[in-house]
Amino acid sequence: MLADQLPFDLSTCSIPQAALIIKDEDPPRLSSINVAYRGEIETVVMKALEKQPERRYQAASDLAADLRHILLHEPVSVRPPSTAYQVQRFARRNKAVVGGVAATLLALVLGIVGIARYAYREYQQRNRAEQAQALAQAQTYRVSVAAASHALDNQNVLAARRLLKEAPEAHRGWEWYYLQSKLDASSRLLTSKYQSINNLAFYEDGQTLLARSRQSYVLWNLQRGEIVDEIPGSVDIHAAVSPDLTWFAFVDQRGRAVLRDMKTGRTEVIADAPIDIHRFAISADHQFVALATDSGQLQIRRLPQYDLVHSTALDPVETLSWSPSHNILAARTRTEFIILDVDNAASMTRLQRPAIVQASVIEWDPRGSVVYLSDTRDDEREGEVFRYDVKGRHALPPLVGHTIRPDSIKFYNDGEGVISSSRDGTARLWHADSGTLLQTFRVAIGSAFSATVSRDGALVAMGTRQVPFGCSIRRPVG
């Protein structure tokens, strides 16, 4: 009566449909029809229309009492249905929708839980992997440091340097820096059966060292400290190696003049060579080989046919050396220093020098413009390194410091530096252009017959005449 209409419009419904609507659906609220009924009167009416009997008024007197309270503007005994009840009612009316939403929410929750569990397992696995990696690095560090210490005890400098470099940086402690400091001052002795090492050269790999005695050569593997190849030559015949260390000339034990390809091991015999050869020199481009004899004959032969290009008679030649960039031969006789230009009609420059008894050493700078000669000073017994500018045809200031004439001269760092060694037991580093002495090395016992510097400047090798015979490996300062 308040709304002037029935709760449901059942005029078009069958009786079963009408029964279902009355049973399951809630009637519209009074305030949706007339806002004047919003509040307590709406609550009383909805209470009276509840579907469940236990939620309706239990007696007409209870309904009448609440209506009197409304008329007297007093509080009524009923309250609007709770949210939980309304949700419950909605669920009962819309079981399919609520079931679908619930299933979706459940799947979402289960998915979130599964993802969370997977992420947690991944975190645990990653954490375990990181811990295992850290443990492995720590173990690698301990093994590397222990092996480096053992290598230093056995004077294996190259192995110790490699092992310290492989040690993981994150774990490097005081023991690593201690061994590194020992590495900087360490040395190593390589031994051979030969009584002196007269010439030394590092190969490009930095781990192979060529050592030449008067008549033979030896190849050392520095990593293992072992001789990997050697050629014994004839006694008292000075062998020679090409500047690029690929050819070796010597007189074999049968008295034949032989050239050996050090890469392939192939040998060739110079069939018509003089029988009294005592010196060889191979040009940098492998076009010529120079032969000097005890009888004072100097021959230039063209390779590979060994045709005779030039022959001249001189005082017995003590030392021969080709320019690295030109076909120019430098020779030291007992009283002269000679420059022979093969390409220029074999023109010859002859310089008087102090008389010598033993052979000198000749070395060219990498440009082939300045030739260095180990010699003695004119008025003294001290040694010096005589320098001659071939292009300018004049002498340069000598390198003075050795107390005995140097036995070897080598260039390093692309010709910026020179190392000389002497029987005074020292090897000296010089600045090539200025002639300034940079550093002096001294062997513990005996003479420093030869010395060389590795291509990277990290190692100095000195051939010694101490027992056992061999060479000492050092590290330069700076």
Residue 370's pLDDT is 92
Q: Is the pLDDT score of 468 beyond 50?
A: no
Better-predicted residue by pLDDT, 264 or 86: 264
Phi then psi for residue 364, to 5 deg, are -100, 150
Residue 236's pLDDT is 58
Q: Is the pLDDT score of 372 beyond 90?
A: yes
Q: Is the pLDDT score of 155 beyond 90?
A: no
Specify the length of the chain in residues: 478
337-354 pLDDT per residue, tens: 899 988 887 788 888 887
Report which DSSP code applies to 170: G
pLDDT band at 301 (very low <50, low <70, confident <90, very high): very high
Token reading at 121: 């397992």
CB 370 within 8 A of CB 396: yes
Candidate ranges 65-79, 221-235, 315-329; pick with highest mean pLDDT: 315-329
Q: Is the pLDDT score of 430 beyond 80?
A: yes
Q: Is the pLDDT score of 375 beyond 70?
A: yes
Residue 380's pLDDT is 56
d(CA 380, CA 440): 22
Q: Is the pLDDT score of 67 beyond 70?
A: no
Q: Any idea which residue has 């390409």 for tokens?
A: 343
d(CA 7, CA 116): 51
One-letter amino acid at 250 equals F
Token reading at 229: 């190849």
241-299 pLDDT per residue, tens: 787 878 888 888 788 888 888 778 788 888 888 888 888 899 988 899 999 988 889 99
Q: Is the pLDDT score of 214 beyond 80?
A: no
Residue 260's pLDDT is 85
Query: What mean pLDDT is predicted for residues 400-419?
Result: 88
Q: Is the pLDDT score of 53 beyond 60?
A: yes
Token reading at 242: 């090409």
Beta strands in 161-213 (DSSP E): 188-191, 199-202, 208-212
Collect all residues with Cβ–Cβ distance below 8 Å to 141 and sequence separation of at least 6.
167, 168, 171, 172, 176
Phi then psi for residue 395, to 5 deg, are -80, 150
Residue 288's pLDDT is 92
**Which H or E run includes 69?**
helix 60-71
What is the torsional sign of CA 34, 40, 44, 46?
positive
d(CA 298, CA 315): 9
Domains and CATH numbers, the chain: 15-93 (1.10.510.10), 100-182 (no CATH), 190-474 (2.130.10.10)
Query: What mean pLDDT is predicted for residues 360-377?
Result: 87
Better-predicted residue by pLDDT, 458 or 399: 399
Q: Is the pLDDT score of 124 beyond 90?
A: no
161-191 pLDDT per residue, tens: 788 888 888 888 888 888 887 765 555 666 6
Alpha-carbon torsion, ordered 258, 260, 265, 266, to 10 deg: -60
Residue 446's pLDDT is 62
Q: Which region among 14-28, 230-244, 303-317 has the lowest average model confidence (pLDDT)?
A: 14-28
Instruction: Please give the C-alpha separations between residue 358 and each of 91, 277, 374, in angstroms, as whole numbers.
Output: 117, 17, 11
0.85 exceeded by the pTM?
Answer: no
Q: Is the pLDDT score of 464 beyond 70?
A: no
Instruction: Please give the C-alpha separations between residue 415 and each of 365, 377, 391, in angstroms, as whole numbers.
Output: 6, 24, 17
Helix (H, G, I), strand (E, B), or coil: what is residue 116?
helix
Helices (H) and strands (E) in the chain, counts: 8, 28
pLDDT band at 126 (very low <50, low <70, confident <90, very high): confident
Query: What mean pLDDT is predicted for residues 390-405?
Result: 89
d(CA 5, CA 28): 11
Candidate ranges 58-62, 261-265, 391-395; pick with highest mean pLDDT: 391-395
Candidate ranges 50-64, 228-242, 270-284, 450-464; pick with highest mean pLDDT: 270-284
Query: What mean pLDDT is predicted for residues 358-380?
Result: 81
Query: What mean pLDDT is predicted for residues 425-448?
Result: 83
Q: Is the pLDDT score of 467 beyond 50?
A: no
The HSE-up count of residue 86 (CA atoms within 13 Å, CB side) is 5
Nearest to 358 by CA among 397, 332, 326: 332
d(CA 253, CA 255): 5
Mean per-residue pLDDT over the chain, rounded: 77
Residue 328's pLDDT is 92
Candidate ranges 15-24, 205-214, 258-267; pick with highest mean pLDDT: 258-267
Candidate ranges 156-160, 324-328, 458-462; pick with highest mean pLDDT: 324-328
What is the torsional sign of CA 13, 16, 22, 23?
negative
Better-predicted residue by pLDDT, 380 or 455: 455
Collect all residues with Cβ–Cβ distance below 8 Å to 95 and sequence separation of at least 6.
none
